[in-house]
Structure 1
Amino acid sequence: MAREAGQARELQLHVNANKLEKGVGEIAKAIKENHTPSHLVMRMIEFEKEDHFRQILEALRTNTTIRSLDLSKASLPYDANELTCDTLRLVFAENTTLQELDISGEQAHLEVTRFGIGLNHGLTGLKENKALKVLRIEYQNLGMEGANTLSSVLEHNKHLTHVHCEHNDINLQGFTILVNALATNYTVLEFPFMHNEQDASMKRISTNMMETRTQAQKMKDDHNKSSVRRSLSTFGIHKPMPAQDLTPQDVDAVVRLLAERWDTQMQRMAMFLERNRNIANGIEPGPGDGYTVGEEFLRPTTAMSDNGILETVLSNTTPRADMPNPVDTHMNAKFGNLGISTIQEGDGEENSFQHPIMPRYGQRNYLESGARMGGSNR
């Protein structure tokens, strides 16, 4: 692959989708001893043993010839363990030659190839990296923890220029954290606007709200069907409160607010990227030049979660009148003719039985005597 150790040949070598069980040791040795070309593509390699993958990483720590490496869609027997993730961290922290790296996973219908949650620890090595410029890390299910890790990297790393991290289940809260980090990063020129994440987030919260609304309606129906049991609350058995009923207007308001928050963060990020591109082209920002980002956009904004948005919408929704249960209304009218009040505990008065003639102090004796009379008749 190289004429002399340490002198990379300007060629691109592809060893995609090959079985490396028998030759992985020789490949790792070639990488470690710098007998490698400038561009190496090892996509869709299925490592039957995690140790084989770790050998490749160990060799990369000291390699000085590979400038572009593609390890995307690598398949491990299970999520990368702590030792493997720490080795990846050391690769980022110690390698001084690698400029482009693709460690994206894959989301397919039949299988998922990614490193696991420990990848977040491996990414922390990027804080010390001074060579890598292009990082592709898609389909690795980074989530909220990964967004926090990447934001910390962006605050410290001053050499990355292109970051591709879509399809990682990053919600609005995670995206906001990343944009806040870009406010103080002046080197990143390309960063995804997370359109796929936005669509997924909006579909997810809409689905969750519709399911909640369906459950609330079911509970309300069950609540109505048990009206006879609820009427017994006049004798000390109280009915449960039904779940909050979400209207279609609530769902629409949440989705609209979510879209507005995403758009706001996208606008902020567009300003930061434009600022960085101008700096890269030698155009220093200054007052009145049209490239200066306003102070209001530089200030970190609150990273609101999906639940926070839901609570905000519901708190601003005009309260809806709680219509009485028609069955309860009928029972109240029926018992009212007999002098029975169905006012429930907590409504300002205790449950009572008021005979239209007997004074209040005689009610208990009246009830007790009536119960005894009823018992004797049976």
Structure 2
Amino acid sequence: MTQMPGLLDTEAIRKDFPLLDRVVHDGKKIVYLDNAATSQKPRQVLDALNEYYEQHNANVHRGVHVLAEEATALYEGARDKVAAFINAPSRDEVIFTKNASESLNLVANMLGWADEPYRVDRETEIVITEMEHHSNIVPWQLLSQRTGAKLKWFGITDDGRLDLSNIDEVITEQTKIVSFTLVSNIMGTINPVETIIRRAQEVGALVCIDASQAAPHMVLDVQALQADFVAFTGHKMCGPTGIGVLWGRQELLEDLPPFLGGGEMIETVSMHSSTYAPAPHKFEAGTPPIAQAVGLGAAVDYLASIGMDNIAAHEHAITEYAVKRLLEVPDLRIIGPSTAEDRGATLSFTLGDIHPHDVGQVLDEQGIAVRVGHHCARPVCLRYGIPATTRASFYLYSTPAEVDTLVEGLEHVRNFFG
């Protein structure tokens, strides 16, 4: 095929990812198209993890011996790297968690326990959307059940976009928090952040953005977003599992109460009461994910060396090609936007009346790794009246040839099920 503009040098990049050379099922080289679930890790990240455990392993903060000082420098250095990566005004606004789910739960619990003017209670409303990952639905349902706050949401149009036609009725003067995904993990839709935030600011509501599917794929500038909180996870952006990030505006982190109590998050403790350390440590109780943070720092370095604009351009080209090729497959229906405009590198689809689990199993036999199910976004499947989808998701190392292999694999699925 003709070389497409915007593509990265994937031949060079793929040499950094050992797993992409893996051979499965009778000598088939793996075609990894499950990046929305987790990305593969480059050698630079694997080496950073090994070096930490082999040379610097110790608990962070307070220790005066050399290993503790080295581990602390590496851990806090990772915070500096993440802050620069997302253009945070202050490193103290970067809180390490174990994943985006914990980050979002942290926000929900802070608001549930907060004093006025931030407190969520039975007089207030919480707004989410129908396309959220369960991690950005369930915490708000729990908060609503616990406080009596009313939970509201934006619906989805037939073509996989948020229906904002009633935005003034959904986000009202009673709205305390609006929490939504920047990029849908099931449909790839990139949502109109400015429109939603503008309305939230008009009524004085806080805004929380789930950037789990954005941080790995595009420039994430928290100052430009103008949100109050931004959550994302490390394992989808070339980092290890077990590390997530919550960014919050400094003044909010100073005013809001901690969620978890224990070591490190305190200033003083007596048997009668405790006072808390400043952010970010106020929200990082106990021994943190030290090695994982070091690995995330290495992942940030790796992505920055390639350039997030370059990664976004590559994925747009791959997605545009993938949409075109998939629509050539008979009986295939894309769930979500059917063009590459305002969409990320995630494509979910159905194939006639073949169950997605059967599609995924036959593709796996050909060495093609995709995701099947409702992708922790079951309300989307209910919205479109389908039990599940097959999801192919791409990243900086994905190639047009892998898209062709997927299409060939789907033809094999159709022939297999007659």
Which band: TM-score by shorter chain? under 0.3
More strand, by proportion: 2
Greater relative contact order (CA < 8 Å, ≥ 6 in sequence) = 2
User: Which TM-score applies when normalising by structure 1?
Assistant: 0.23
Bigger Rg, which one? 1
More helix, by proportion: 1
User: Which TM-score applies when normalising by structure 2?
Assistant: 0.22
